[in-house]
Amino acid sequence: MITKTVTNAAEAVKDVVSDSVLMFGGFGLCGIPENCIQALLQKDLTGLTCVSNNAGVDDFGIGLMLKKRMVKKMISSYVGENAEFERQLLSGELEVDLIPQGTLAERIRAGGAGIPAFFTPAGAGTEVAEGKEMREFEGKMYLMEKGLRADFAFVKAWKGDTAGNLIFKGTARNFNPMMATAGIITIAEVEELVPAGTLDPNHIHTPGIYVQRIFQGVDYEKRIEQRTVSKG
């Protein structure tokens, strides 16, 4: 069996170049590939197109890449927690495709499944539909959305094996599984890396066929985006 392990994040991202299209798993700050983002920050990259549910926060996640001016374009569904993102958008420094969240998820899933386009009612009759093909089905208008692919997809899992099979835990099972299928090269960082054959096949969320590189991450901060607690 092919071993897909690499030593660390730096080795995993060594061939990422400027002007690449990158996908980052995660929802808010939950399940984001923290180690890969830190490794990318050490590279002199520009002109990146980033596909992510959100843009992180100013001092964590993709927000750090924005601060370093590495990102040319964001394709996202929620961007409300990042002041630097807002500043770059309003100043015209950053291109943004803001997409309904369900549509973004389906575009990624479609890209991974080899489906070039599909029709959805989400966004019909709004600015989202401008410039897109429209069709009527059973008396209702739908707009055409194209599948999304990436040069590199970065995902973060709870546990994985040396063959690239992945198990996600809790909310981290968000955009990660579908993005893993949509990258030409998918790089997985995991909290625990085990030998191939160790994982129960019935518990695997992403089969190793989709993953080209895997490594055990370190020093996860797992920051909480908005901490909400009840009074004691």
Instruction: With a cut of 70, say whether residue 3 has pLDDT above it.
Output: yes
CATH of the domain at 74: 3.40.1080.10
Residue 6 pLDDT class (50, 70, 90 cuts): very high
At 214 the pLDDT is: 98
DSSP letters for 29-79: TBT--HHHHHHHHTS---SEEEE-SB--BTTBTHHHHHHTT-EEEEEESB-
The mean pLDDT value for 146-154 works out to 98
How high does pLDDT run on average in the chain?
A: 94
**pLDDT tens-place string over residues 184-214:** 999 999 999 999 999 999 999 999 999 999 9
Residue 167 included in any domain: yes
pLDDT surpassing 90 at residue 224: no
What's the pLDDT score for residue 62? 93
Q: Does the pLDDT at position 1 exceed 70?
A: no
CA distances from 187 to 15, 114, 218 (A): 12, 19, 15
Task: Give the structural domain span for 33.
Answer: 17-98+149-216
User: Is residue 125 situated within a structural domain?
Assistant: no
DSSP state for residue 212 in the 8-state scheme: S
Q: Can you tell me the mean pLDDT for 214-226? A: 88
pLDDT in tens, 50-88: 999 988 888 899 999 999 999 999 999 987 778 888 899
In a domain, 222, yes or no: no
pTM of the model: 0.93
For the cut 90, the answer to whether the pLDDT of residue 14 exceeds it is yes
Q: Is the pLDDT of residue 148 over 90?
A: yes
Does a structural domain hold residue 47? yes
88's tokens: 């770059």
d(CA 52, CA 105): 10
Q: Which of 210, 169, 173, 170 is nearest to 188 (CA)?
A: 210
What percentage of the chain carries pLDDT values higher than 90? 82
| Domain assignment present for 136 | no
Residue-level pLDDT at 10: 97
Number of domains in the chain: 1
